[in-house]
Amino acid sequence: MSAPAIAHVPRYIEVRESIRSRIERGVYTPESRIPTEAEFERELGVSRITVTNALEDPVQDGLPVRQRGRDTFIRKPAKRPVATGN
């Protein structure tokens, strides 16, 4: 009987989860700039396309916001309505 195959997690998913974790832990605070793709590339030792792909889901989820010609920033959390207790 052979051992079950271990699923390989693509590198961009590992990078994506690392970035999400940093956002959730407050390493990158609301309205702060996160590293550029080139900075992530050097820091994490991955290719630019890996970083680009890793940022796609968090950007679509509204965590960081890309501003063309500028940088990528963490979105300020949306204000939640206050319950009135009616």
Q: Residue 49 is part of a domain; what is its CATH number?
A: 1.10.10.10
Give the structural domain span for 44: 11-74
pLDDT tens-place string over residues 37-64? 899 999 999 999 999 888 887 766 667 7
Angle at 59 between CA 47 and CA 48, to 5 degrees: 10
- The verdict on pTM exceeding 0.75 is no
If you average pLDDT over residues 70-80, what whole number do you get? 70
- In this structure, is residue 79 part of a structural domain? no
- In this structure, is residue 44 part of a structural domain? yes
Q: Write the DSSP symbol of residue 74.
A: E
